[in-house]
Chain A
Amino acid sequence: MTDTIVEHADRTLEVGTPLVEMTGVGKAYGAIRALEGIDLTVNAGEVTCVLGDNGAGKSTLIKIISGLHPHTEGTLKVDGQEVHFGSPRESLDHGIATVYQDLAVVGLMEVWRNFFLGSEIRKGRYPLAPMDIKGMREIADAELRKMGIAVKDINQPIGTLSGGQRQCVAIARAVYFGARVLILDEPTAALGVKQSGVVLKYTAAARDAGLGVVFITHNPHHAYMVGDHFIILKLGRRVLDRKRSEVTLEELTAEMAGGQELEELSHELKR
C-alpha cells in the first residue's frame, strides 16, 4: 500500500518542515464571520487534525487552503511564500490536494477517468488533442492494484465502488499527481469500521512518506489514531491547540463533546 506513495512523494520533503502556515486567518461572508484568528501549521511528515462540530468552521478552513474561497483576513503562506488562492487550480499547483468526503469523485464516470480528471494525459498540446486512454487505463490500474484495491474493471463507473475504495482512489490520485499537502475532509464520516481503518492506514502511509496531512473530522478516536497535532474549532474560533504529547484522547473527546458545556448539561439533567 505504501509503494505508490513513496514512489510519488516529493523526496525533498523533510519531516517537520512547515509547508503551510496560517496566521490570524479569518473569513467573512458578508457580515457573517465564519472563521477568525486561525493559526495553523502543516508540517511535512505530520498529520494535523482539525476537529469540530457541524458549523464550527472546518469546511471554511478547507475551502481557504484548497482555493475554493479566498481568506479575508490574516496571511496564508505556502513554503514560506505568502499566497492568496483564487482557484483550486492555483492551490493544486502549489502541491495542495483536497479529498472531499462527499464530492471526491464523479460517480457516473469510469474509474480511470476519475483518476486522471483534471490532469489528463494527452497525445499533443493542440486543442482537441486525443487523450492517451490506453496509457491512463494502465497507470490507473497499476496504481490501484498496488494499493490492494480490487477493481474488477477499470472501465466501470466509480459509483460502483464502495465508499472506502472511492476515498482511497481519491487519495491515491492526489498523491500520484505529486501532492505535498493532503487535505482530507471527513474521510471516515460515511464509512464503516473496517473501511475507516483502510482510509486511516492510508493516511498514516501518506504521513510516513513525508506529506503534510490535514485531517478534518469530528471523530476524536480517528483523529487520535493518526494525528500529531490537534486543533479544535468552535463557532469559527480555535478553542484548543495541542501537540500529541500535550493531550490525551480523553481530553480530546471531552473537549469535542462540548467540555464545559457538557458538564453543565449533565448537571442540569441530573436525575
Chain B
Amino acid sequence: MSISGGIIDCHIHPNADLGSTPEETAETLLRYADRMGIEMMGLSLGPIFHPQPTEEQIEADNTFNANIIALHPDRFFGYANINPNRLYHALSEISERIENGPFIGIKLWIAMCCTHPNLDPICERAAELGVPILQHTFLRPEGNLAGESSPADLVELAARHPDTTFIGAHTGFNWEQGAREFADQANIVADTCGGDPDMGFVETAVRWMGADRVLYGSDAGGRSFATQLAKVHGADISDADKEKILRTNAKRVLNL
C-alpha cells in the first residue's frame, strides 16, 4: 500500500550500537528508515538505558537527542526524558526542553510506577503544553520490574488526567490483555512497538481501541523497523486504518 506522506515511527531510541555521536546515530537510522519508507522518528532515552537515571544522565540523553533533531529536524522529533523521582528536575526539564523546544512529548520509562502522585504535576504540565506522555507499559508473567507500569496502572493515571493524552507503549507487551485494559480509557492511545511480530497484534488493538487510537512504533534500534512494520503492513485491516496507524494518528497526537 502507499500512504500520502511517509510513515511516522513514534517510538525509537538512539541505542549505542547505532553510533557514538548524534551524527553517526542519525545516519544509521536514516539509512534504514529510508529503505522502509519511514519519514519521521520519535526519539527518547539515550545511547545507554538507565532504569533509574540521575539528573546528569537525563540531561546528557536529552542533549544527545536534541542534537540529532537539530541535524535533521524534518526526520526526527523527541520526547523529553524525565525521572519522576526527581520531580523538580523533571518539571524544569519539561520547561527547558519542551516549552523552549525542540521536544514535543514526555517519555516515562521504569524509574517509578505511573500511579504515584508525583506523576500528577507532570501530567498537569503536559496538559498545559498540549503534549502527550509516552509511558512504557508491560505485563510480565513473572511480575513486573520495580517501578515498571502495567496497562492497568496507566489507566489509573489517565483516569485522573482526562485532559492529558497518553501513549501506552508496547500495548502492555502482552497485547491481548493490554488492548482490553486500554479499551475504555479514551485518552490513551497505544503503540505497537517492541515484542515479536505476533500475528493478530494490530487487529486486536484495532478491535478493542479503534483504529484512531493505535500508533505504529518500532522500538528501534533494539528492534528492527521491518519486524515492527510487519505488524501493520500484514494486518487484516483496511488500508484506511493502516494509514491512520502508520501516519495520521501520530500527526494528530503529536501535533506534527
A binds B: no
Binding site for B on A (CB under 8 A): none
